[in-house]
Amino acid sequence: MLRLKGKVALVTGGSRGIGAAIAKRLAHEGAAVSITYSVSRESADAVAAAIKADGARSLSIQADSADVGAVKAAVAETVNTFGRLDVLVNNAGILRFGAISNYSLQELDHMIAVNIRGLFVAIQEAIRHMREGGRIINIGSTSSDFVPFTGGSVYAMTKGAVASLTRGLARELGPCGITVNNVQPGRIDTAMNPSDGPLADQFLKMIAVQRYGSCDEVASLVAYLAGPEAAFVTARSGIRNRRKPKD
């Protein structure tokens, strides 16, 4: 069953990891999918090729989410190529660890530019083209309400902003028939945070099911939120799956 047949989706940061899995899953559900990437054209083209091999249309666009002009151009190119935009998945994001005592303003500005400003601009541009039934799905983090390690406070701040914006926009865009949700993955097995990495044993103690999640599991939730069954779901966050730490 192609639940997204005839729909067009844009997935920012869709060349690898969670973003790539989301792009492939939305395409498998029938959507034409545009992805953005910052550096690796080879990886982006591989995702686009996999989508086309699955029988869907795809487009890869180089666009650094810190660059407002590039974000706007990515939305415009998606609409110009496919004729519409129904689903925006804000997946692009960066993580820079550091203690607040010596965290540089340059790193702060970069984190805000990608994780908050780029997301804001993508939404602002996308809603100009969305009709009733549109979907905005942000990829946040459990760090927005629980930080299990030192050095992650600035990252948590940016993801907290995403969570707050999601709740506000759900109210603002609801009358337009557009839903806004925030998927907050916990520990997902990616190149950035592998399940066999140096911190894995520590993180496993905080996960209720005692294992890392997979990119495909995140993608399945995003596909549900993008589909018709989720038309009444908005302002929600999902995939937390953590245990309460012991005192």
The residue-averaged pLDDT of 218-228 equals 96
Above 70 in pLDDT, residue 147?
Answer: yes
Residues 138, 119 contacting (CB under 8 angstroms):
yes
Burial label for 72, CB within 10 Å (0-12, 13-18, 19+), is middle
Task: Give the range among 36-40, 127-131, 165-169, 185-189 with minimum mean pLDDT.
Answer: 185-189
Q: Dihedral, CA atoms, 129, 134, 139, 144, nearest 10 degrees?
A: 100
Look at the pTM and tell me if it is higher than 0.85: yes
pLDDT at residue number 236: 80
Task: Give the range among 8-12, 99-103, 149-153 with minimum mean pLDDT.
Answer: 149-153
DSSP string spanning 57-94? -EEEEE--TT-HHHHHHHHHHHHHHHS---EEEE----
The residue-averaged pLDDT of 24-47 equals 96
**Identified catalytic residue from 37, 155, 212, 224:** 155
Distance of CA 21 to the CA centre of its chain: 11
The residue-averaged pLDDT of 29-58 equals 96
Above 50 in pLDDT, residue 247?
Answer: no
**Which CATH architecture group holds 8-238?**
3-Layer(aba) Sandwich (3.40)
Comparison of pLDDT for 9 and 203, the residue scoring more: 9
pLDDT digits (tens, 9 = 90+) for 88-129: 999 999 999 999 999 999 999 999 999 999 999 999 999 999
**Residue 155 is among the residues annotated as catalytic for this protein:** yes
CA separation for the pair 219, 201 (Å, rounded): 25
Comparison of pLDDT for 159 and 237, the residue scoring more: 159
pLDDT at residue number 40: 86
DSSP string spanning 94-138? ------GGG--HHHHHHHHIIIIIIHHHHHHHHTTT--TT-EEEE
